[in-house]
Structure 1
Amino acid sequence: MDADIEGLQALVQRDRIRDCIARLARGEDRRDPDLIRSAYWPDATTDYGVFAGSFDDYFAWVYPGADAITNTQHVLGQSVIEIDGDAARVETHVVSYHRVDMGAGERDTCIGGRYLDVLTRRDGLWRIAARTMLYDWYQDWGDAIDWSHGVMGLPFSAPHFAGRAVGDHSAAFFSAAR
């Protein structure tokens, strides 16, 4: 096979793997069950250090999400991807923000770490077969401020600018394209 064609095929596979990981981050942030399911194989396993289990256990843990976590945002960094046939090992850097209310008011927290994912390709689709989370740092930023009506002292011109885990403007944005 021509080296250029092999390189293009590898590039396409890496892009499909990155897309799978990004779909999962969006699914968790927006609490979208279909996106979460589309990123994992049903027989997958997860180990987050504070939680480990099957995909069904993970799904029950992350969806619809804890009432105490009102907002999250997972920002993905670089991924190192090693493909071996229909399997891939992937390390992806992540910074995740969480607004958490543990009963004493909302707090803003942030975690930096890396996902170690084993993805497998079945019927041409890449999905996560196993995930392990490594934690590199954690920061509690303290009491959360109310930014629902604006930021930095400036008011929003419409209520849809404030993001929410469920039902924010991005849901309408994506459904309008369908």
Structure 2
Amino acid sequence: MEPALQQLIDRQAIGDVIQRYARTLDWLDDEGQAGCYWPDAEVDYGFYKGRADQFLPIVMEVERASDRRWHMLSQPLIRFHSAKSASSECYGIFAGAKRQDDGKLAGKLFGGRYLDEWEKRTEGHGEEWRISGRTYLLDWQSDLTDQPEFEPDPEFPLPTARIDKSDHPLYRPL
């Protein structure tokens, strides 16, 4: 295959992993989240620095402690070093809310960036890209007070879903 075409395919594969990372956190999909990293990947989130396989139970516990969570990551800027290694950077926004002592939902909105290293390795029936190193940088944060409940607003009744455990009935493996 021509190198330029392969690089486009690889760019898309890396972008898919980044989107899967955000989605699997939001839906509390432990297995899907683990599939975004190589187990021996080194990650640095400030509050945790070490191997990905040891980080995953910690981050999923953090996510499960939120009554609502939402991650959105930008399209990554990717630089390939070889056919099997790359670096990327993308921006991310994360919102999380918990039930407060007064009964209201409140939390924080965070903005930051993901500095990732990637490796393409053979896994299962073929080669795949996964994160082999990650550094998260927090750029800003803001309070989110008095968040809406999980029932639709009667004045603008959009559907809602309370995702408080894995295997939510609306979750579809993609």
> Which TM-score band (shorter chain)?
0.7 to 0.9
Which residue identity does 1:154 align to in structure 2? F
Structure 1's 101 and 66: CA in aligned 2 closer, same or farther, altered over 3 A? farther
Structure 1's 16 and 168: CA in aligned 2 closer, same or farther, altered over 3 A? same
Gaps of 5+ in 2: none
Cα deviation, residue 119, structure 1: 0.9
Cα deviation, residue 32, structure 1: 0.4
Partner of 2:81: 84
Partner of 2:130: 127
Cα deviation, residue 150, structure 1: 1.0
Give distance in 1, aligned partners of 2:70 and 2:4: 33
> Of 127, 142, 146, which residue of structure 2 is paired with 1:143?
146
Give distance in 2, aligned partners of 1:125 and 1:84: 16
Alpha carbons 2:28, 2:64 under 8 Å: kept = no
Cα deviation, residue 60, structure 1: 1.4
Cα deviation, residue 57, structure 1: 2.4
Alpha carbons 1:68, 1:102 under 8 Å: kept = no
Q: Which has the higher contact order (CA 8 A, sep 6+)?
A: 2
Give distance in 2, aligned partners of 1:70 and 1:61: 17
Which residue identity does 1:141 align to in structure 2? L
Map 1:1-178 to 2 at 5 A: 5-85=2-82, 86-101=84-99, 103=101, 105=103, 106-123=105-122, 124-146=127-149, 148-151=150-153, 153-155=155-157, 161-165=159-163, 166=165, 167-168=167-168, 170-171=170-171, 174=172
Identical positions, percent:
31
1:111-136 C-alpha deviation (Å, 9 max, x unpaired): 11110111101022100111110111
What is the TM-score with the length of structure 1 in the denominator? 0.82
Which residue identity does 1:117 align to in structure 2? D
Alpha carbons 2:28, 2:63 under 8 Å: kept = no
Aligned Cα root-mean-square deviation (Å): 2.2
1:97-153 C-alpha deviation (Å, 9 max, x unpaired): 11134655431321111101111010221001111101111011213232x221373
Count, aligned residues = 166
Alpha carbons 1:100, 1:107 under 8 Å: kept = yes
Alpha carbons 1:80, 1:92 under 8 Å: kept = yes
What is the TM-score with the length of structure 2 in the denominator? 0.84
Alpha carbons 2:25, 2:63 under 8 Å: kept = no
Alpha carbons 2:116, 2:134 under 8 Å: kept = yes
